[in-house]
Structure 1
């Protein structure tokens, strides 16, 4: 059994790309997907089950027969992804890259870069068909 943690943001398109990438690379019968959405700011107390991107990724996995667990975190996304991956002893992490200018990366940081640099687990970076990572 391969446990894969997917760090899912608000983008349905990126979540679909992540789910499809995991299905392309891992055997459906031997994969367990953990879908993590990190609420950086959640004053309304939303739940992971309310996030459209998470719901769509879960549907894709369930249609393929992959077992799915939903998780939520709060705070800095990269730290949350790494923490959950460590708690689960995940075999891999899958995150969605997004196109940013060099200045944007410097100003806002890069979750993808931070995860890659701060974990010893394999990290898959994927993007929606109409985006470049």
Structure 2
């Protein structure tokens, strides 16, 4: 089994990575980082570059956790991409970062995190950044 984390280099994404790494250590499982850029985008600021990839790999190595980073593109269905990968690797837990949102924003906008929480059929750990 594998710990799967949806990752973007933001405060919620980094909180999710830290929690996923701790969970991988606790479970004695490898860590799979999903960093999925929007398909068709010429530039995607969510895409992890070489420097950040090296930092993630170094943190995992220091914790004694094997790490794999995958960057498949998704087309307006990031929750579907997370679910498909979770099924492919039989993830024991999926870790996602969430951000603070107003009640009105929650009511009208929905979110990828909400879809992941409602649609995946496996344990999910949702993490907020401190502060």
Shorter-chain TM-score range: 0.7 to 0.9
2:96 aligned partner? 95
Superposed CA RMSD in Å reads 2.7
SS in 1 for 2:71: strand
Once residues 22 and 10 of structure 1 are traced to their aligned partners in structure 2, the CA distance between those partners, rounded to angstroms, is: 14
Q: TM-score, normalised by structure 2?
A: 0.79
- For structure 2, the 5+ residue unaligned runs are none
Which has the larger share of strand? 1
1:35 aligned partner? 33
Q: How does 1:1-133 map to 2 (within 5 A)?
A: 2-11=1-10, 13-27=11-25, 30-41=28-39, 42-44=41-43, 48-50=47-49, 56-73=55-72, 74-75=74-75, 76-130=77-131
The alignment of Structure 1 onto Structure 2 pairs a total of residues equal to 128
Once residues 130 and 27 of structure 2 are traced to their aligned partners in structure 1, the CA distance between those partners, rounded to angstroms, is: 26
Q: TM-score, normalised by structure 1?
A: 0.78
